[in-house]
């Protein structure tokens, strides 16, 4: 019997897995791959972004509520999921921003934060890992730390001399960064909307993207997953404290999104297998070996 393909997605908070790469994961689960979502914090300091959920009993029990939301999203996507157990750092706001809370995830020594992820890599033995770029996708301290932890775990898990006592070494074949909101995607959607005589709800967002001074990662890999956009949306809506059903996420119908941009996009950051770019499969160069 052939071995099942295995994908590990490392995220900072519950709900990140549903806003980044959810349709990709749903596709690979449907094709028979094993998918593990690693959630580094519990989202304890996250704001309630859906006004309908902003109630005292929810604010007082936000950690428990977010765990239940994650379980429902996990069920919808068909993935496995594990909480690592670090405490959300929150998003400091102000000029200058206040210091991060003592003991939070972003202030952990790298070796402390990476050790449980190395252990999970050695237990799950993924062929592919996906995570955020060095700027975290956006500069939330937990997302930036998630990048550092993911890269450390990817590199260290294969070295038998590092992190002793966390299992047998395992070399993951490929590491990808999400390219979640490329300007080209919004331009393609805007064109389809214009062709249909419809207003572009992303116009202001596109102006902000054009002005951003962060690195724009090359899209090396486009995974066709348009038929799973509805699954993605259901997983997003499961995170009811974080996702307003009247928000940006659902501003354009999925049929238009499929016509304009039916992929989720990635940058291949590390690879130990031969593959030709551009790719249309995270497991390119791996399938024949598994």
User: What is the value of pTM for the model shown?
Assistant: 0.95
95 lies in which domain range? 6-181+217-289
Residue 200 within a domain: no
> Is the Cα torsion angle 72, 61, 243, 87 positive or negative in sign?
negative
Count of structural domains within the chain = 1
Residue 99 within a domain: yes
Q: Answer whether residue 1 shows pLDDT above 80.
A: no
How much is the pLDDT for 205? 83
- Distance separating alpha carbons of residues 21 and 265, to the nearest angstrom: 8
Contacts with 55 (C-beta within 8 Å, 6 or more apart), sequence order: none
Omega before residue 110 within 30° of 0, cis: no
DSSP state of 118: H
- Distance separating alpha carbons of residues 21 and 5, to the nearest angstrom: 17
Residue 138 within a domain: yes
The predicted-structure confidence for 281-290, as pLDDT tens digits, reads as follows 999 999 988 8
The predicted-structure confidence for 9-34, as pLDDT tens digits, reads as follows 999 999 999 999 999 999 999 999 99
The predicted-structure confidence for 104-135, as pLDDT tens digits, reads as follows 999 999 999 999 999 999 999 999 999 999 99
Residue 143 labeled ligand binder? yes
Residue 188 within a domain: no
| CATH code of the domain covering residue 84 | 3.40.50.10320
Residue 203 within a domain: no
Residue 212 within a domain: no
Contacts with 7 (C-beta within 8 Å, 6 or more apart), sequence order: 25, 28, 33, 34, 35, 36, 126, 127, 128, 129, 130, 282, 283
The predicted-structure confidence for 231-272, as pLDDT tens digits, reads as follows 999 999 999 999 999 988 899 999 999 999 999 999 999 999
Q: Answer whether residue 6 shows pLDDT above 90.
A: yes
Residue 194 within a domain: no
Residue 196 within a domain: no
- The answer to whether 84 and 40 are in contact (CB under 8 A) is yes
Query: Could you tell me the pLDDT band of residue 2, with boundaries at 50, 70 and 90?
Result: low
């Amino acid at each position: 019997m052939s071995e099942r393909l295995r994908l590990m997605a490392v995220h900072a908070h519950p709900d990140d897995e549903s806003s980044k790469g959810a349709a990709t994961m749903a596709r690979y689960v449907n094709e028979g791959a094993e998918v593990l979502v690693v959630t580094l914090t519990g989202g304890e300091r996250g704001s309630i972004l859906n006004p309908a959920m902003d109630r005292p009993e929810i604010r007082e029990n936000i950690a428990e509520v977010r765990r239940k939301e994650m379980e429902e999203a996990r069920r919808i996507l068909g993935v496995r999921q594990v909480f690592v157990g670090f405490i959300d750092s929150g998003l400091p706001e102000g000029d200058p921003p206040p210091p991060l809370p003592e003991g939070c995830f972003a202030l952990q020594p790298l070796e402390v934060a990476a050790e449980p992820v190395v252990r999970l890599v050695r237990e799950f033995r993924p062929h592919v890992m996906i995570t955020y770029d060095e700027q975290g996708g956006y500069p939330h301290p937990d997302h930036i730390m998630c990048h550092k932890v993911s890269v450390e775990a990817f590199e260290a898990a294969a070295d038998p001399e590092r992190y002793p006592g966390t299992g047998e070494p395992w070399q993951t074949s490929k590491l990808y960064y999400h390219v979640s909101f490329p300007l080209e995607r919004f331009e393609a959607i805007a064109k389809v909307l214009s062709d249909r005589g419809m207003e572009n709800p992303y116009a202001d967002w596109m102006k902000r993207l054009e002005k951003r001074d962060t690195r724009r990662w090359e899209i090396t890999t486009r995974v066709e997953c348009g038929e799973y956009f509805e699954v993605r949306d259901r997983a997003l809506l499961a995170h009811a404290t974080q996702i307003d059903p009247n928000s940006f996420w659902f501003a354009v119908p999925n049929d238009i999104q499929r016509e304009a941009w039916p992929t989720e996009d990635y940058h291949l950051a590390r690879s130990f297998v031969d593959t030709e770019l551009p790719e249309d499969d995270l497991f390119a160069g791996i399938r024949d070996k598994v």
